C-alpha cells in the first residue's frame, strides 16, 4: 500500500521528466560551437557557505557501482578529478564511462548539435586546469551555447532508454507489477534515489527498495526478482518520495533520527496540521477542540471506519542507513481518525503558563526543545540548548515518540517520561512545555476526558500532587518574606531531592516557614498577607494528612504529579497576582480621577 500511495501522489503532483530529480551543483562547464573558449565557473552562493544551485537533472540509483548520469554529474565523472577520499583507478573508470555515455548519446541523435559538441570535447580536447577547492563529488552542470544539456529533448529520450536498459538487466523481464497491477517490463533495481539530505542518517543518496547483494534477497537473489515493480512505478516511487520529503509538510528537527511527511487524499489539507511542527494557531486548535468535546470527531471516526472513507490521511516517517531508507512508521487512516488523535494530542498538551490566564497548546518543536538541557545564565534569562547540539542530551527518537502519540494515539513510551524527569532534576528547570510533556505522558490518549488537569486542580487528592503544591507555596512564603535578594532559595536547595521524595524537604520547609511568616507579620501592611499565607499552608497540610501516605521513593508517575502540582500552583499564584495588580491599578486610577 505504501508504494501505491507514493505512485498515486507522484501521478497527481510530480511534473519532472522520468528518472530525474533535484540535485545540487557547485560548478558549471560551458562549451560553445562558435569558437569561444571553454570555461569552468563556480556556482557557490556569495555568502561564503558551501551551497550551490539546485537543478532537476538526470539521476539513477547508484550504490557501490560506477553509473554515470547524463548531461550533469560529479567532478570525478565529468573531469576525472579525484581527491583524498577516492581511488585513482575508480575515478578513471568513472570518467571513461561518462565520456562513453556522452558518445552514445551523440551517436543516437546525430542531429543534436549540443550532443555532438560535447562528444567532441571528450574526444579531441585536453582537460581544463583544475581550480582550487574542487572535491570529487562536487556536482557539475554542462551547458552548450548557454543552454543546459539536461534540457535537451534528445537527452531526455536517450536517458529514459538508457535507464530502462540498465535497470532492466541483460535479459529484460516482463511481468505483473505488484504496485499498479499491470503487465510491463520490470526493474532489476530501483531506478531512482532520494537525496541523502532528505533522509536523516543516510550516508549516500538512498533507495526505498534495494537488493544489491544476494545476502539481502529472498532465496539469495541480488535483484528485485521477488519484488516485481515496473519502470513507471519504480520511477514514480522515487520521485514522489523525493517531492514529499522536500515539501512544506515534512518535519525533521535537527538532531533527530527521522523525517516525517504527511499528505491527505480526497480532501483539503486540514489547517490544524499545517502549524503542527512549529507553533499551532490557537484559533485552529480551539476549533478542533470544540469538535472533540462536542463528540463530532468521534462520530466521524466511527462512521469512516465502519463504512469506509475516501478521505485518507497518510504519513511516512523514514530514516537512513548508508544508501538504504528505513521506514520507521507508515500511517494510512481515514482522515477523521487521524484528526481525532491530533485533537486529543492538543487537549493533553494544554498547560497553564506563568504569564497567561488560559492554558496554551504547544507545537512539536517546542516540546522536543524542552527535552534538552537548560543553560542557566547568571544575570540574564537562560535558554534550552539548540536542537541538534550534542550538548543538548536529547534522545534522537523523541520526535518519533511524540508523533506516534499525536497521529496514532499511542501512549508515550516510559523512556520519555523518565528523560524529562531527569532533565528537570538535573537542570532545576520547570516550565510549561516540560509540564505539558509530563501531562501528555500521564494522559491516556484513548480516554474521552483527560484525567490530568491543564491547570490547578483543587480536587486532586494525589498526595504527590499536594506535596508539589505545598512546595510551591513554601517558596512563595519565602519570597514574600525576603524578596528576590536570597543567595540560595528554599527551592534551589531542596527541589531536586523533593521531586523523588518530598517529605523531608516539606518538613524542613514548614519549620522554616514559621520564621518567614513572623517576618512578614512585623510589617502592618503585610500582616493580612501573612495570615492568608498561613491559612493556605495549613489547608494544604490538612489535605496531605487526609491523603494516602507516600512511599519513601516516588515512582516516575508520582514524580510527574509532584512536578505538575508545583508548576500549576505557581501558575495559579501568578495569575492571582496579576489580577490583584489589575484591581489595584484600577482603584488607583479611579481615585486620581
**96-126, pLDDT tens digit by residue?**
999 999 999 999 999 999 999 999 999 987 7
User: CB within 8 A of 504, min separation 6: which ones?
Assistant: 497, 498
CB 370 within 8 A of CB 356: no
Residue 268 has pLDDT above 90, yes or no: no
Instruction: Answer yes or no: do 410 and 487 share one domain.
Output: no
Taking CA 240 as the corner, what is the angle to CA 220 and CA 387, rounded to the nearest 5 degrees?
A: 95
More confident residue, 41 or 50: 41
User: CB within 8 A of 264, min separation 6: which ones?
Assistant: 270, 311, 312, 313, 314, 335
| Exposed/middle/buried for residue 245 (C-beta within 10 Å: 0-12, 13-18, 19+) | buried
pLDDT at 592: 41
Instruction: Answer yes or no: do 20 and 97 share one domain.
Output: yes
Query: Among 184, 169, 163, 160, which residue's Cα sits nearest to residue 233?
Result: 184
Per the structure, the complete domain to which residue 365 belongs is given by 268-313+333-442
d(CA 219, CA 212): 13
Instruction: Answer yes or no: do 192 and 273 share one domain.
Output: no
Percent of the chain exceeding pLDDT 70 equals 96
Instruction: From 442, 475, 505, give the residue that closes a domain.
Output: 442
Instruction: From 387, 411, 442, give the residue that closes a domain.
Output: 442
Instruction: From 229, 244, 259, give the residue that closes a domain.
Output: 244
pLDDT at 126: 76
Instruction: Answer yes or no: do 415 and 489 share one domain.
Output: no
Give me 83's grid cell.
581527491
- Indicate the DSSP class of residue 280: -
- Indicate the DSSP class of residue 217: S
Instruction: Answer yes or no: do 132 and 181 share one domain.
Output: yes
pLDDT at 591: 46
pLDDT (tens digit, 9 = 90+) per residue, 444-501? 998 888 889 999 999 999 999 999 999 999 999 999 998 877 777 899 899 999 999 9
d(CA 257, CA 277): 16
Instruction: Answer yes or no: do 8 and 153 share one domain.
Output: yes
Q: Is residue 157 domain-resident?
A: yes
Instruction: Answer yes or no: do 288 and 419 share one domain.
Output: yes
Instruction: Answer yes or no: do 39 and 171 share one domain.
Output: yes
Q: Is residue 327 domain-resident?
A: no
pLDDT at 63: 65
Q: Is residue 251 domain-resident?
A: no
Instruction: Answer yes or no: do 554 and 422 share one domain.
Output: no
Please give, one letter per residue, the 3-state secondary structure of 101-170: HHHHHHHHCCCCHHHHHHHHHHHHCCCCCCCCCCCCCCEEEEEECCEEHHHCHHHHHHHHHHHHHHHHCC
Instruction: Answer yes or no: do 112 and 220 share one domain.
Output: yes
pLDDT at 294: 94
Give me 178's grid cell.
505488484
Grade residue 210 by pLDDT with cuts at 50, 70 and 90.
confident
pLDDT at 557: 96
Q: Is residue 262 domain-resident?
A: no
CB 237 within 8 A of CB 192: yes
First-to-last alpha carbon distance for the chain, in angstroms, is 73
Backbone φ, ψ for residue 488 (5° rounding): -135, 110
Total domain count for the chain?
3
Residue 513: which H helix or E strand, with range?
helix 502-521
CA pseudo-torsion sign 432, 438, 442, 444: positive
Is-above-0.75 flag for pTM? yes
Q: Is residue 254 domain-resident?
A: no
Instruction: Answer yes or no: do 295 and 391 share one domain.
Output: yes
| Maximum alpha-carbon separation in the chain | 102
Q: Is residue 454 domain-resident?
A: no
CB 150 within 8 A of CB 57: yes
Mean pLDDT score, 248-260: 93
Q: Is residue 260 domain-resident?
A: no
Q: Is residue 250 domain-resident?
A: no
CB 331 within 8 A of CB 337: no
Instruction: Answer yes or no: do 292 and 192 share one domain.
Output: no
Whose grid coordinates read 535537527? 254
d(CA 442, CA 411): 9
Radius of gyration (Cα) for the chain, nearest Å?
32
Amino acid at each position: 500500500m505504501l508504494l501505491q500511495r507514493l505512485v498515486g501522489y507522484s501521478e497527481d503532483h510530480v511534473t519532472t521528466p522520468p528518472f530525474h530529480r533535484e540535485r545540487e551543483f557547485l560548478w558549471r562547464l560551458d562549451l560553445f560551437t562558435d569558437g569561444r573558449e571553454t570555461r569552468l565557473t563556480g556556482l557557490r552562493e556569495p555568502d561564503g557557505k558551501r551551497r550551490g544551485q539546485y537543478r532537476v537533472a538526470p539521476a539513477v540509483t547508484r550504490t557501490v557501482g560506477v553509473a554515470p548520469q547524463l548531461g550533469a554529474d560529479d567532478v570525478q565523472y565529468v573531469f576525472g578529478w579525484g581527491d583524498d577520499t577516492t581511488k585513482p583507478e575508480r575515478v578513471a573508470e568513472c570518467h571513461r564511462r561518462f565520456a562513453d555515455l556522452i558518445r552514445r548519446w551523440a551517436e543516437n541523435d546525430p542531429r543534436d548539435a549540443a550532443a555532438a559538441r560535447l562528444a567532441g570535447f571528450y574526444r579531441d580536447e585536453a582537460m581544463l586546469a583544475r581550480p582550487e577547492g574542487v572535491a570529487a563529488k562536487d556536482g557539475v552542470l554542462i551547458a552548450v551555447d548557454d543552454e543546459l544539456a539536461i534540457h535537451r529533448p534528445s537527452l531526455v529520450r536517450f536517458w529514459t532508454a538508457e535507464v530502462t536498459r540498465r535497470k532492466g538487466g541483460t535479459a529484460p523481464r516482463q511481468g505483473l507489477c505488484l504496485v499498479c497491477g499491470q503487465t510491463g517490463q520490470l526493474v532489476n533495481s530501483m531506478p531512482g534515489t532520494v537525496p541523502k539530505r532528505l533522509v536523516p542518517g543516510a550516508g549516500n543518496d538512498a533507495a526505498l527498495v534495494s537488493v544489491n547483494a544476494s545476502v539481502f534477497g529472498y532465496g539469495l537473489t541480488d535483484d528485485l526478482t521477488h519484488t516485481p515493480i515496473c519502470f513507471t512505478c519504480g520511477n514514480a516511487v522515487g520521485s514522489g518520495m523525493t517531492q514529499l520529503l522536500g515539501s512544506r509538510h515534512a518535519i525533521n528537527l535537527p538532531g533527530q533520527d527521522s523525517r516525517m511527511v504527511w499528505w491527505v487524499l480526497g480532501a483539503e489539507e486540514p489547517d490544524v496540521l499545517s502549524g503542527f511542527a512549529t507553533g499551532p494557531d490557537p484559533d485552529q486548535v480551539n476549533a478542533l477542540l470544540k469538535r472533540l468535546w462536542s463528540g463530532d470527531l468521534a462520530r466521524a471516526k466511527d462512521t469512516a471506519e465502519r463504512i469506509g472513507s475516501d478521505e485518507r490521511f497518510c504519513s511516512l516517517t523514514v530514516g537512513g542507513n548508508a544508501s538504504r531508507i528505513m521506514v520507521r512508521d507508515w500511517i494510512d487512516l481515514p482522515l477523521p481518525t487521524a484528526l481525532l488523535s491530533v485533537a486529543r494530542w492538543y487537549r493533553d498538551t494544554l498547560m497553564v503558563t506563568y504569564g497567561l490566564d488560559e492554558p496554551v497548546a504547544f507545537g512539536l518543536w517546542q516540546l522536543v526543545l524542552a527535552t534538552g538541557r537548560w543553560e542557566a545564565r547568571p544575570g540574564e534569562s537562560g535558554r534550552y540548548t539548540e536542537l541538534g547540539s550534542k550538548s543538548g542530551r536529547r534522545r534522537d527518537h523523541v520526535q518519533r515518540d511524540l508523533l506516534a502519540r499525536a497521529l496514532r494515539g499511542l501512549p508515550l513510551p516510559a523512556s520519555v517520561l523518565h528523560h524529562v524527569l531527569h532533565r528537570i532534576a538535573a537542570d532545576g528547570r520547570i516550565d510549561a512545555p516540560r509540564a505539558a510533556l509530563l501531562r501528555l505522558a500521564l494522559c491516556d490518549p484513548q480516554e474521552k476526558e483527560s484525567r490530568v488537569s491543564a491547570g490547578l486542580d483543587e480536587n486532586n487528592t494525589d498526595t504527590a500532587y499536594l506535596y508539589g503544591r505545598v512546595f510551591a507555596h513554601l517558596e512563595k512564603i519565602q519570597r514574600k518574606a525576603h524578596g528576590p535578594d536570597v543567595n540560595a532559595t528554599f527551592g534551589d536547595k531542596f527541589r531536586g531531592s523533593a521531586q523523588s521524595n518530598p517529605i523531608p524537604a516539606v518538613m524542613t520547609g514548614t519549620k522554616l516557614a514559621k520564621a518567614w511568616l513572623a517576618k512578614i507579620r512585623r510589617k502592618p501592611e503585610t500582616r493580612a498577607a501573612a495570615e492568608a499565607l498561613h491559612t493556605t499552608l495549613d489547608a494544604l497540610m490538612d489535605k496531605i494528612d487526609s491523603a494516602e501516605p507516600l512511599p519513601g521513593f516516588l515512582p516516575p508517575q508520582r514524580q510527574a504529579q509532584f512536578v505538575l502540582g508545583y508548576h500549576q500552583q505557581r501558575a495559579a499564584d501568578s495569575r492571582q497576582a496579576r489580577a490583584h495588580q489589575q484591581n489595584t491599578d484600577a482603584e488607583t486610577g479611579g481615585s486620581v480621577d
